[in-house]
Amino acid sequence: MSLSEIKSTSRRELEGLLTALSLNNRIHQFDGYTEKDVGEMSKDKPHVREEYHKSKELKKKYEILIGRTKKEQKVTLSGLLGQL
């Protein structure tokens, strides 16, 4: 965006764009890392593992919202017996 476009955009829209950018960064901050990589990093910095799992949860949530994946349904014994 140019400076003139930014100036003409409402504050609410700009805040929305910044929020979306922040969320996008949180979701994709661990792209390219495996569980093993995160495990190695978390030996020195334990908070990395928590951030990794939060990132995975957010990614899963938004993939369900946009319809890329389906929500996992819990299978219960009573549900299975009801189908018989």
Instruction: Give residue-wise pLDDT tens across range 23-73.
Output: 999 999 999 999 999 999 999 999 999 999 999 999 999 898 888 887 777
Mean pLDDT, rounded, for 14-24: 95
pTM: 0.66
Residue range of the domain that includes 46: 3-83
| pLDDT at residue 84, as a whole number | 63
How far apart are alpha carbons 63 and 69 in whole angstroms?
6
Cα 70 from chain centroid (whole Å) = 15
Tally of domains within the chain: 1
DSSP per-residue codes, 30-74: TTT--HHHHHHHHHH-THHHHHHHHHHHHHHHHHHHTTSSPPPPP
Distance between CA atoms of residues 68 and 16, nearest Å: 23
